[in-house]
Amino acid sequence: MSIQIVIADTPREDVSRRLGSIASRCEIFPMDDARIGLSIPEKLDADENWIHDTLRGLTYYDLYTGEWHGAE
C-alpha cells in the first residue's frame, strides 16, 4: 500500500529536498493554501520509518494510521 500524507505549512520544494532521490517518483501536490499532499508508491525502497524520520520537524497527518505527527 502506498503511503499517503498531508503536510501542513511546508513548501513543496522543502518536501522534495527532504525526500531526495525518491521525490521525482512521488506525487507531491497542493491541497489548499496551507497543505500539500504526498503519495509515496509502495514499490519505492522507502519504509515508513525512513519516511517519518525524513519528515521529522514537520507537521503532517498520516492517512493510513490516522495520526498527526509533529503537532504540539
Which CATH fold would you assign to the domain 3-69? Alpha-Beta Plaits (3.30.70)
| pLDDT score of 51 | 87
Domain ranges of the chain: 3-69
N residues, the chain: 72
Q: What does the pLDDT read at residue 72?
A: 57
> What pLDDT, on the 0 to 100 scale, is given for residue 23?
93
Count CB neighbours of 16 within 10 A.
Answer: 15
Strand, helix or coil for residue 13: helix
CA nearest 37: which of 65, 3, 66, 68?
3
Query: Alpha-carbon distance 50 to 31, whole Å?
Result: 24
Tell me: the pLDDT tens digits for 30-45?
999 999 999 998 777 6
Single out the residue of 22, 16, 28 nearest to residue 47, CA to CA. Answer: 22
